[in-house]
Amino acid sequence: MAQLTSYAWLPYKPDSIQNSIPTSMASSAPSQHTVEFFRNAAHTVIHGANFMSIANSATRKDGFQLLQEHVAPAAFHNSWQRADPPRCHAHTREAVLEELFDWIVGHIPREAWMAWLNGAAGAGKSAICQSFAELCIARGVKAASFFFFRTDASRNTLDPVIATLAYQIIQLFPETKELIVRTIEANPLIFEQAFETQLDALIVAPIRRLQQADASFTLLLIIDGLDECTEERPQMVLVEAFGKLLRNKDLPLLALFGSRRESHIQMTFNVRHVDGILKQMPLDNNYQAPADIRRFLVERFADIKLTHPQNKRLDSAWPAADHVQQIVEKSSGQFVYASVIVKFASMPSPNPATQLDIVRGLRPAGRTTPFAELDALYRHIFSQVKDIAPALRLLAYNILGSVTYVKRAFYFFDIREDEAESIFAPLASVLSYDAETARITFHHTSLPDFLKDKERPQEYCISEMGTDLSILWFKNAISGRFKDLSEDDQNFDILRFLDCAKGCPDLRALILYYPPPQTPWAYKTDFFPPVILRRIREIVRAHL
């Protein structure tokens, strides 16, 4: 009698055995649990042999493994990949953090189920969201988070958001794991389906199950850097989906969003079913930002004096109080400016006092880049403006001409006010345009300095646009567009434009053809004729 042995795996089959198995039997599929040899064979005679069965079936992934494959660990608030994430400095931003916490656990009837923490670029929104996530954990509030970041491909799209939040829900409420895993196993392609479908199946369904067992619990979802998602439409889809979900106010679920106040995001939050359940939290002029920035600067400079290798070279009164105040004013309520200065001053090799003098423009920067982080932020914002040329022209007119009342610029460029609003809209995170007063307000007073610098803005530099503005001014004057304007609107800005202009054939030809009577109000003043004639003479001579 032959001895039959079955093995689940063996690295090879002896040729003598392999060759002894008929082709018809080698191609037949064995059952999952039982190995059968020579089914339906007749008159088989075998003398002394061992038989081996080799199973080679692929292992199927379970639902939890599929979930993990779609999670973005770098988007967690406590991810090691977000080494030293931005967070609020001690004893700063306390007012906004406490207001957020009161919104979550307050004892008054809830009216808002979504909150939008918004502000200018560099206002500290991500730091607040990070600190608030940590505060919630410390105080026992259940919170899951997703931190977008535009330069990290694992967390700059909408794709991993639901999986990442669902994974954290399992960690917070282990009893939800079975339902979430079973849902994924029943529909392994769920992560290829619409955002709302994923939201309903992997977040809403588990929460409703929890709600049945305990109606008193609350789950907070923190979604920061919404504007860091690479495309505008997915940003809007995310807000719209949560707005539709929460408008019925029947879920123990709250959502906090942090983003810049981009125009398309503002529109999405203004939708009726979203606006009715929304708590807006603008940072620009609230929550004592200047006082917090001053406290941050004083404490960080004190740390530098205590820990820096060259601290013995620092005067006991360094930095001067008025220097700190200058930084506070230049920050315009946005933490990013103060933060980059502190980082630059705290570099371990150079003398901090020297570094601060470079920032203040008292020493040449040389090969150092004190505002590299801020410059990268500004350049990214300007890179998102599709029609950048008219935006730069209007800003150049405003900054080089020192004009705050921009209707003169609209007339100068022959553009309508509604066109100007569209031009300025993509720059809402760094400036605001008030149509009623026709004035531009820079959220960062450092932005004009950036744009005028000949190296920092790269292709967005306006420092040499004085030539183009001067050429257009003379064309307008020659065509008679200024002569019927009032004295205040007659456009004296040519004096400033010429200060930034360089001689060229087109400008020289227009200067020589310029008829002064076209700007009669300007020529009635005591200063205009001699100043403009002197500048014209200098430019013409320089060209010759």
**Which pair of tokens denotes residue 524?**
């009635």
Give the pLDDT score at 537. 77
What is the C-alpha to C-alpha distance for residues 237 and 149, in angstroms, rounded to an integer?
Answer: 18
pLDDT at 12: 40
pLDDT at 28: 43
Instruction: Give the residues of the chain that fall short of pLDDT 70.
Output: 1-59, 285, 404, 487-491, 521-522, 540, 542-544
Euclidean distance between the first and the last CA atom of the chain, given in angstroms as a whole number: 114
How high is the pLDDT of residue 204? 97
DSSP code string of 137-205: HHTT-EEEEEE--TT-TTSSSSTTHHHHHHHHHHHH-GGGHHHHHHHHHH-TTGGGS-HHHHHIIIIIH
pLDDT value of position 476: 87
> DSSP labels for 316-358?
TTPSPHHHHHHHHHHHTT-HHHHHHHHHHHT-SSS-HHHHHHH
> Residues with Cβ < 8 Å from 66, sequence gap 6 or more?
184, 185, 188, 191
How confident is the model over 63-87, as pLDDT tens digits?
A: 999 999 999 999 999 999 887 889 9
- How high is the pLDDT of residue 387? 87
The gap from C-alpha 97 to its chain's centroid, in whole angstroms, comes to 20
CATH class for domain 65-282? alpha beta
The structure's pTM equals 0.80
342 contacts: CB under 8 Å, gap ≥ 6: 296, 297, 300, 301, 304
**91-100 confidence digits (pLDDT tens):** 999 999 999 9
Neighbours of 340 (CB within 10 A): 21
Q: Are 165 and 144 in contact (CB under 8 A)?
A: yes
Please check whether residue 284 is in contact with residue 123, taking contact to mean a CB–CB distance below 8 angstroms. Answer: yes
* DSSP category for residue 49: -
CA distance 398 to 408: 10
pLDDT of residue 31: 43
